[in-house]
Amino acid sequence: MRIVLEQVSFSYRRTRKKNVLEGASWTVDSGVTGLLGPNGAGKTTLLSLIVTLAAPQRGRILVGEYDVARPADRAEARRLLGFVPQRFSLAGELTVADTVAYAAWVNGVPRRACADAAACALDHVDMGALASRAVRTLSGGERQRVGIAAALAHDPRVLVLDEPTVGLDPGQRLRAREVIARLGEDRTVVLSTHLVEDVAHLCGRVGVLAGGRIAFDGTFAALEGLIEDSDGGSRYGSPFERAYDALISRMGAGA
C-alpha cells in the first residue's frame, strides 16, 4: 500500500512560529521505510498527520486511495492504519491478551473476533507465550511489542512506528528489529528513529526530514555515500556521527 505526501505544510497554530512542515513531499511504498531527522525536525508531527491525528494546513496525504484529511475518507484510511506512538501507556492490571483484544475492539474488530485477532497479533510479535501475563510484569522490550501487537490487532496494511526501539537493550532491540522486518514483508511500515543502525538493518529506503521537508529520499546505501562524502562540521561524536550531523544540518539549511 502506498502513502503519498504532496506539498504538505503544517504549523502548530499556538506557537505562531514558522511551519514545522513546509511543502514536504514523499512517497512510501510497501516494505520498511525509515524516517530520520534531527530532534524537533517534525518526524512525530509528520507521522501524526499520516495517521489522521492532525490535518495539514496545505497539501494532501493519501493512504492508498484515501485522502486522510477528507472527512469522507478518514474512516476508511483509519482502518488501513496502525500506529505505535513514541510514548504510550498500558493498563498494568490487564493481561497482554486482553490489552490487545481491547485494541482490536476499539479499532472496529467485531467483539466475537477480538480474542482471535489478539492471538494472531501477539504471534506476529513473538508474544504468544506471554498472553496471560499481566502487563505490569513485562520488561520494556516486551511492553513495546505489546504496543506493536495492539496496533496490529485490526490487521492494518500500514504500520507507523515512532522510535520503537528507544530504551531497549541490544538484545531486545535485535528482537524488535526481527519483528519489524517480518511485518514489512507484507505491509507498508514507516519507522521514525534516530538510530541510523536500525535504518541500515531494516529499511529498503529512507527519508530524511530536515528544514520542514523531505530533504533526502533514497536507499540507505545512497545516504551512507553522502554521509561518507561529508567532511564533518561538529566537534563531537565519532567520525560517522560527525559526518551524519554535518550532512543533516546542511540538508536542514537547504544546501
Ligand X SMILES: Nc1ncnc2c1ncn2[C@@H]1O[C@H](COP(=O)(O)OP(=O)(O)OP(=O)(O)O)[C@@H](O)[C@H]1O
Question: By the criterion CB under 6 A, which residues form the site for ligand X?
Answer: 12, 14-15, 20, 37, 39-45
**Smaller CB separation from ligand X, 34 or 122:** 34
For Cα atoms 72, 75, 78, give the angle at the middle one, nearest 5 degrees.
135
Nearest to 144 by CA among 108, 184, 178, 93: 178
**Smaller CB separation from ligand X, 42 or 184:** 42
Smallest gap from Cβ 196 to ligand X, in A, equals 13
Q: Which amino acid is at 50?
A: I
Nearest to 142 by CA among 129, 154, 153, 152: 129
Smallest gap from Cβ 139 to ligand X, in A, equals 23
Would you mind telling me the total number of residues written for the chain in this entry?
A: 255
Q: CB neighbours of 13 closer than 8 A, spacing ≥ 6?
A: none
Smallest gap from Cβ 76 to ligand X, in A, equals 26
Smallest gap from Cβ 186 to ligand X, in A, equals 27
CA torsion angle 220 225 228 230 (round to 10): -100
**Smaller CB separation from ligand X, 43 or 175:** 43
Smallest gap from Cβ 227 to ligand X, in A, equals 18
| All cell numbers assigned to 104 | 482490536
**Smaller CB separation from ligand X, 37 or 252:** 37
Q: CB neighbours of 217 closer than 8 A, spacing ≥ 6?
A: 26, 27, 205, 206, 207, 208
Nearest to 10 by CA among 54, 64, 63: 54
φ, ψ of residue 191 to 5 degrees: the values are -120, 105
**Smaller CB separation from ligand X, 146 or 248:** 248
**Smaller CB separation from ligand X, 142 or 162:** 162
**Smaller CB separation from ligand X, 15 or 238:** 15
Whether the CB-CB separation of 165 and 181 falls below 8 Å is answered with: no
Smallest gap from Cβ 248 to ligand X, in A, equals 11
Smallest gap from Cβ 173 to ligand X, in A, equals 17
137 DSSP assignment: G
